[in-house]
Structure 1
Amino acid sequence: MTEPQYLTTPEGRRIAYHLTPGQGPAVVFLGGFRSDMQGTKALYLQDWAAAQGRAFLRFDYSGHGQSGGDFLDGAIGDWFADARAVVALVDGPLVLVGSSMGGWIALLLARAMPERLAGMVGVAAAPDFTEDSMWAGFDAAQRAELLTQGQVALPSDYSDAPYTITRRLIVDGRNHLVLRDPLELPCPVRLLQGTADVDVPPSVALRLLDHATGPDMRLTLVKGADHRFSDAACLALISRSLGEILAGRPDA
């Protein structure tokens, strides 16, 4: 396995990344909460991009995967800043592929640097999940524990060990919400969503589609697909969506 390269962000965080050179617009994969750049979707898209001679970038947020830092110290604003520092490695326009939390990070990047966006693919995108899923789903005891102890442990569907949510994650998330104010996406956007996703239900994708404005936005629902969205058919749909966006680019 190829060793990653590293960069140090302006905030001093050490971020691991893999950058495959090629033609632009570059495709950037933004992973999910507690995920990393070794996942099925990231590696599939790297192979797909390499076969096309397309520049491709994947990375780990701080506290994730091979990057430095402690996961519990991080929050949405930190991971957005990490992403912003990493995409600065690539010149020219970008096509962002945001998976789950990565979809929220992609929307923050779109808001911060719309001039660089050539397109976006959201895969079970989870904007504002710290507020609308986590905080809204806590019972009174969990909210009290979070506020008094600074963290709360939640069961995980993906491992036997519970995972910890910090008060800082919730509070910081409120400073980066994207579904409360106008959200302009001035590029082709493809939202891909499984109907069997229990972590980010289809209602989230419908809300995002209804809330955002842009010249070319489409939502595709895949019956029976879950949150991983990583079987062969789902992976092929992601690459087809990217191909559709890139086919409309005169510089692609």
Structure 2
Amino acid sequence: MEFDVMRDGLRLRGVIDRPAPAAPCPAVIMMHGFTGDMGARPGTLYQRIADGLVAGGVAAVRFDFNGHGGSDGDFGRMDVLNEIEDAIAVLRYVRGLDWVMDIRLLGHSQGGVVAGMTAGLYHDVIDRLALMAPAATLRDDAIAGTCMGVRYDAAHIPDAVAIDGGAHVVGGHYFRIAQVLPIYEVTSRFAGPSLAIHGLADDVVDPAASRRYGEAMPDCAVSLYPGLDHGIDGADRDAAVAEVVRFLTAA
């Protein structure tokens, strides 16, 4: 089922995979990473997780953040704060669905930062939280003046920084906001069951980020996989996906 929500004049597009027969069930809102999309295609990480959730009796709600995939917006205007606003708009929509029971969040990479902070803001609404390679180091990177291997002057941030060989242009405001984001402080307000999964072969985000989430939240398990990279690819991919699905489909 396709759906869309409006957020400040932008149309955010998404899809819901729901168990059959239709009956009340929990729903997991899934949040993709920086430069990515919801991955509603066979074989993608997000599709594999969505299929596992549905098989376990839980609905999977996916959407593209502003400036990504099929959603409206300019990537150059994207930042973590307006992605949180996107997440809140989708959360509001899901809360209005009469068949949804508990609401759970899953975030990968930057989507993990957004999911964690959203869970902290809505700690009385969210039931469970799962993070996969959460990119909380984006604050440290912004302070150091680096993004995806591209250097810039962190004390005099330019209006735009081109990354991926010019394929994406990040607005300077993104880094100004990232430098002061209270990532762990906000996320720590979530006291429900949480899980952080990280690959020890991740060369984009240091696994120490997930360890710190484990320290920040009162009920957070941390699983580190030797054979897993930042994209949740590698020898441990099947095991990591299975663990996330088990956690998010638990009663």
Band of TM-score, shorter chain: 0.7 to 0.9
SS in 1 for 2:25: strand
1:69, distance to aligned residue in structure 2 (A): 1.0
Cα pair 1:128 1:179 within 8 Å, conserved: no
User: Residues 144 and 126 of structure 1: is their aligned pair in 2 closer, same or farther, counting only changes over 3 Å?
Assistant: closer
User: Residues 136 and 186 of structure 1: is their aligned pair in 2 closer, same or farther, counting only changes over 3 Å?
Assistant: same
Tell me which amino acid in the other structure corresponds to 2:211.
Answer: L
User: Residues 128 and 239 of structure 1: is their aligned pair in 2 closer, same or farther, counting only changes over 3 Å?
Assistant: same
1:75, distance to aligned residue in structure 2 (A): 1.1
Is 1:221 the counterpart of 2:224? The answer is yes
1:235, distance to aligned residue in structure 2 (A): 4.1
Cα pair 1:196 1:225 within 8 Å, conserved: yes
% identical equivalent positions = 25
* Distance in structure 2 (CA, Å) of the matches to 1:145 and 1:217: 35
Cα pair 1:128 1:178 within 8 Å, conserved: no
Which sections of structure 2, spanning at least 5 residues, go unmatched?
Answer: 96-100
The aligned counterpart of 1:239 is 242
1:238, distance to aligned residue in structure 2 (A): 2.8
1:244, distance to aligned residue in structure 2 (A): 3.5
Is 1:77 the counterpart of 2:81? The answer is yes
1:175, distance to aligned residue in structure 2 (A): 5.4
* Distance in structure 1 (CA, Å) of the matches to 2:45 and 2:152: 33
Tell me which amino acid in the other structure corresponds to 2:246.
Answer: G
1:44, distance to aligned residue in structure 2 (A): 1.0
Is 1:142 the counterpart of 2:145? The answer is no
Is 1:172 the counterpart of 2:173? The answer is no
Alignment of 1:44-193 (within 5 A): 44-91=48-95, 92-127=101-136, 129=138, 131-138=139-146, 142-143=152-153, 147=157, 149-154=158-163, 156=164, 161=166, 163-174=168-179, 176-180=181-185, 183-193=188-198
* Distance in structure 2 (CA, Å) of the matches to 1:14 and 1:81: 13
* Distance in structure 2 (CA, Å) of the matches to 1:202 and 1:53: 31
* Distance in structure 2 (CA, Å) of the matches to 1:238 and 1:146: 41
1:144, distance to aligned residue in structure 2 (A): 6.7
Cα pair 1:146 1:166 within 8 Å, conserved: no
Cα pair 1:101 1:126 within 8 Å, conserved: yes
Is 1:197 the counterpart of 2:195? The answer is no
Correspondence for 1:13 among 10, 14, 18? 10
1:176, distance to aligned residue in structure 2 (A): 3.7
Which sections of structure 1, spanning at least 5 residues, go unmatched?
Answer: none
* Distance in structure 2 (CA, Å) of the matches to 1:241 and 1:86: 21
In the TM superposition, what whole-angstrom CA distance separates every residue of 1:50-96 from its partner, at most 9, and x where no partner exists? Answer: 22332110000010000011100111111110111012222342221
In the TM superposition, what whole-angstrom CA distance separates every residue of 1:180-205 from its partner, at most 9, and x where no partner exists? Answer: 56823211111110011011111221
Q: How many residues align?
A: 236
TM-score by length of 1: 0.83
Cα pair 1:110 1:185 within 8 Å, conserved: yes
RMSD: 2.5
* Distance in structure 2 (CA, Å) of the matches to 1:17 and 1:162: 24
Cα pair 1:183 1:213 within 8 Å, conserved: yes
User: Residues 245 and 142 of structure 1: is their aligned pair in 2 closer, same or farther, counting only changes over 3 Å?
Assistant: closer
* Distance in structure 2 (CA, Å) of the matches to 1:79 and 1:222: 28
* Distance in structure 1 (CA, Å) of the matches to 2:217 and 2:185: 13
SS in 2 for 1:197: coil
